[in-house]
């Protein structure tokens, strides 16, 4: 279950952010898919959480947006994490108008629980 936080500059159009919000669940699921957590293309509530946050007056960034992804560590996921994030970057560029952005993929040891 990836957690995604998108921090964006005030000049990024809402339409771009909406497109990003629509595309990220599928694209991130593809990027972090692994044998331990296969992606069945049928996302359910709680499978992906996305939070958007505008840069504040004291924040500093040279990018239009930064997409931070936290997903549970699995060795199979970690061994090629750079390739995964590079491919995700290309897919986001292809599917949205976002161009000047970065992606940070973190794979911590974690656990998740969700009620019914």
**Mean pLDDT computed over 23-28:** 97
Can you give the CATH number for the domain in which 73 is found?
A: 3.30.429.10
Mapping DSSP to helix (H, G, I), strand (E, B) and coil, where does residue 7 land? strand
Number of domains the chain contains: 1
**Mean pLDDT computed over 21-25:** 97
Query: Residue 4 CB: number of other CB atoms within 10 A?
Result: 20
Residue-range definition of the domain harbouring residue 92? 3-106
pLDDT-derived band at 1 (thresholds 50, 70, 90) equals confident
- In this structure, is residue 23 part of a structural domain? yes
- In this structure, is residue 27 part of a structural domain? yes
Task: Report residue 73 as tokens.
Answer: 């560590």
- In this structure, is residue 112 part of a structural domain? no
DSSP state of 36: T
Q: Rounded to an integer, what distance in angstroms lies between the CA atom of residue 110 and that of residue 37?
A: 13
- Return the pLDDT at 114: 82
- In this structure, is residue 90 part of a structural domain? yes
The pLDDT tens digits for 85-97 are: 999 999 999 999 9
Q: By CB neighbour count within 10 A (0-12 exposed, 13-18 middle, 19+ buried), where does 79 fall?
A: exposed
Is 51's pLDDT higher than 80?
yes
pTM here is 0.91
Q: Rounded to an integer, what distance in angstroms lies between the CA atom of residue 56 and that of residue 71?
A: 26
Match 């898919």 to its residue by tokens.
33
Percent of the chain with pLDDT over 70: 100
* Average pLDDT over all residues of the chain: 94
Distance of CA 27 to the CA centre of its chain: 8
- Return the pLDDT at 72: 94
Distance of CA 89 to the CA centre of its chain: 10
């Amino acid at each position: 279950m990836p957690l995604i936080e998108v921090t964006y500059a005030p000049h990024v159009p809402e339409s771009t952010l909406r497109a990003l919000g629509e595309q990220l669940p599928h694209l991130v699921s593809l990027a972090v898919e692994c044998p331990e957590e296969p992606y069945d293309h049928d996302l359910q509530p709680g499978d992906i959480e996305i939070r958007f946050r505008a840069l504040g007056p004291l924040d500093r960034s040279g990018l239009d947006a930064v997409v931070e992804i936290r997903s549970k560590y699995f060795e199979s996921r970690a061994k090629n994490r750079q390739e995964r994030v590079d491919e995700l970057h290309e897919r986001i560029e292809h599917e949205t108008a976002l161009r000047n952005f970065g992606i940070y993929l973190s794979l911590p040891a974690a656990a998740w629980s969700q009620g019914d």
